[in-house]
Structure 1
Amino acid sequence: MSLPDWAPAGVDTTVPNAARVYDYALGGYHNFAVDREFAERAMQAWPGIGRVAYANRAYLGRAVEWLVDAGVRQFLDIGSGIPTLGNVHEVAQALAPDARVMYVDIDEVAVMHSEAILAGNPRAAAVQGDLRKPQEILANPRVQELLDLGQPVAVLLVAVLHFIADEDDPAGIVRELGDALVGGSYVAVSHFTRTTGLDSEQDRVTKLYDQTPTSVRARTPEQVAEILGGLELIGPGVVPATAWHPDPEVDEPEQPAVLAAVGRKSVAN
């Protein structure tokens, strides 16, 4: 099979990839047949999962807007996926042109496409990295060149922590990231959770992801709060993504299957 111009040489087109599946769910086109087939199967297993993806993306935009309003001008988006409409740098730089954004993803397609759309933007860049190795991400010369870790940074972990197994210690990963940041920095997360009345649908989707390199696991609000332990939770705390600082001008149905929260590192720490 010939690869499209945007695809890196040697990319495996036989295994679905979470970033590319998410891209397809949001209406993007940087995905392969295997990703589209997987996404369609997931949508058949759980007909409302597409709305969950959009709710998660809307939360990301609101969180970035809130963080810019709070004075943040540096963003480290880990597990950024493939940029689609409403990218972090678009939202942040529309409000604060001096905002800097570093995208990090484990998928080559996500990184290469990010680099292509960021060409000519000196305040945004993308690198390949694995969330399970936070020190390698922070030590990356391109990360250190773009971001001043001596100043507050907002780390965005949106729809990525549910791909981290318990044995990989998601709370420890967030703690390592937090320890490397100065006081006044933030960590924003969203995370898949179990929803009453959707047990069978969520079980079917979870089993689908078990057939890929990135199994997904649900966590409770209490577990998400524990992952952010040591940070001050910004109100309203750990809530459904649609309930985190909702836009009063947008009538968005609640999507309880994805949780959202933002934690702040105390200036005293």
Structure 2
Amino acid sequence: MTGFIDLQVNGYAGVDFNDEHVSDQQWLDVCARLTADGVDKILATVITAPIDRMIARIERIAIAMETFPEVARMVAGIHVEGPFISPVAGFVGAHPTAAVMPADVATADRLLDAGRGHVRLLTLAPECDAGARLVRHLSDQGIVVAGGHSDASLDQLQQAVDQGMSLYTHLGNGCPSQLNRHDNIIQRVIRLSDQMYVSLIADGHHVPNFALANYLRCIPHDRVIIVTDAINAAGLGPGKYSLAGQRVEVDPDGAAWAEGRQHFAGCATPMQTMAEILRDQLGVGDELVDRWTRVNPGRLLG
């Protein structure tokens, strides 16, 4: 299967998009490798960091898109994940807590300006965006807004959806391993999944397959999007790597762990492997796999 559209790629095949010094040749090489692995389009993803570093990384991606037709064909835009996310342990995930901040329109505009019109998606925590002001500001400009790394209440999620939020980022991750058994972010998002898309990482690690199967039964099929959350280790196998300057270790099972092995730090599993997991281990038919890995993300991007 080919033609995958992946909305969350932090890096791939040895190239870290969260490094403002990615060379021209690395950009060409990584796009060729993604094509060889069946991927048609990605959103190059920049995660939380000090704002000046985020700006430099976003600008580097935008310049590569404008310089090389090969990059422009592969990179459909930029996904900014953070810095307006929850600073609470567990919800913040692998993002550096010191760089997290409340939603701020002026800061967001600096990130958008760095992207030179190429920022297509921004993930934020709705509880950190008072009155969903930033959600409305972004959605009014045609930018897809996602919730994520969040413990938003049901009312806060609904307010964000009403103001234009149309996606929730990697449900089941970006949250603590221990949650209230009933009133938790997973249940709240599923409750509203008829009103927004929901992305899931289908590597068998971020969400165990049995739990993923449950989510896929609850979320409407036309709202499911599979993302890899790939880092530069994707497609390379076990070893030690980095993500935005953090040490990451990929174990023999393919799970990408942050230092200390307390939580995952991105993913090392290519989209083709996720499609195989969905088909072979969860029994999902080809039509739905195609819908979740190509049709739905393409529809969201427009």
TM-score, length basis structure 1: 0.37
Q: Which has the higher strand share?
A: 2
